[in-house]
Chain A
C-alpha cells in the first residue's frame, strides 16, 4: 500500500541534489524524508553535498 513512497538510493540522491536548486514536489519531499530516516548512506550524501555548498560559498572569504 505504501509502495508509492519507497524510492531507491539512486532516486534519493537525485532528489537531494535537485532540492538544492528548486522546491521539489510534496510527494517527493515525503519520499525523501522517509528514505533518509532509514538510509545512512543517503544521509551521508546529504551532509556531504551540504558541506560542499558551504565550502564553495567560502571561497575568497
Chain B
C-alpha cells in the first residue's frame, strides 16, 4: 500500500477512532493522545500491513492496545473513579414491585439484525454510553469492547469482584433504559 493512501485512510477514520477513544477513556486529552499514538504505530507498521479493505479492523486493533496502555499510565486516576463508583448504591427498586416482579414492561426490541444494520443506532448507543458515569463506562467498555475478563478488570481497578458484577449490572440497566427511550420507543411508533 502507498504511504499516502494509508494516511488518507487514517485521516478518514480519525473521527470514529476519537469517538471510540472518548467513550472508553472519558478524557479528551487522553483520547487525542491515544489516537495520535495509534496513527504513529500504524504508519510505522504499514509495511507489515497488506490489504486495503481491512485497514479499519487493523487500526482498531492498534487503538485497543493504546487504550490499554493509557489505562496503565493513568491507573491511579482511573481506579479512583472506579472505586468512587463502587461505593454508589443503586438498587433499581423502582422497576420491581415489593414481590420482586417487574413493574414496567420492557419493550420488545424486535429483530436484532435489523437494529444492528442501522448506522444511526450506533450513534444512539454511543450517546447512551457517554451518559454513564466515567467509572461505570470504563469498566463496562473494558468488559464489552476490550473484552477483558472480569477478574482482570477488578485487578486493574482495585475493586472487589462483587463490586465489579454490580457495576456491570448497573451499566447494563442504565444503558438498556437509555436505548429503550432514545431508540426503541421511537422505532415502535414508526
B17 contacts across to A, CB distance below 8 A: 60
**Sample of 16 further A-B pairs with CB below 8 A, known A8-B99, A48-B179:** A8-B101, A10-B92, A10-B100, A14-B169, A17-B169, A21-B164, A41-B106, A47-B109, A48-B109, A48-B176, A51-B115, A54-B116, A55-B121, A55-B125, A58-B122, A60-B57
User: How many interface contacts (CB-CB < 8 Å) are there between A and B?
Assistant: 100
Residue in A8, A56, A57, A60 whose CB lies within 8 Å of B96? A8
Residue in B56, B95, B125 whose CB lies within 8 Å of A60? B56
Task: Give B45 Cβ to nearest chain A Cβ, in Å.
Answer: 18
B172 contacts across to A, CB distance below 8 A: 17, 49, 52
Question: Chain A contact residues (Cβ within 8 angstroms of B): what range?
Answer: 20 to 34
Contact B60 A60 (CB under 8 A): yes
Task: Give B163 Cβ to nearest chain A Cβ, in Å.
Answer: 12
A36-51: CB near B (< 8 Å → 1, else 0) gives 0000011011011111
B106 contacts across to A, CB distance below 8 A: 41, 44-45, 48
Which residue on chain A has the smallest CB distance to residue B166?
A14
Q: List 10 A-B contacts (CB under 8 A).
A: A7-B100, A13-B173, A44-B106, A49-B176, A50-B112, A55-B115, A56-B125, A59-B23, A60-B20, A60-B57
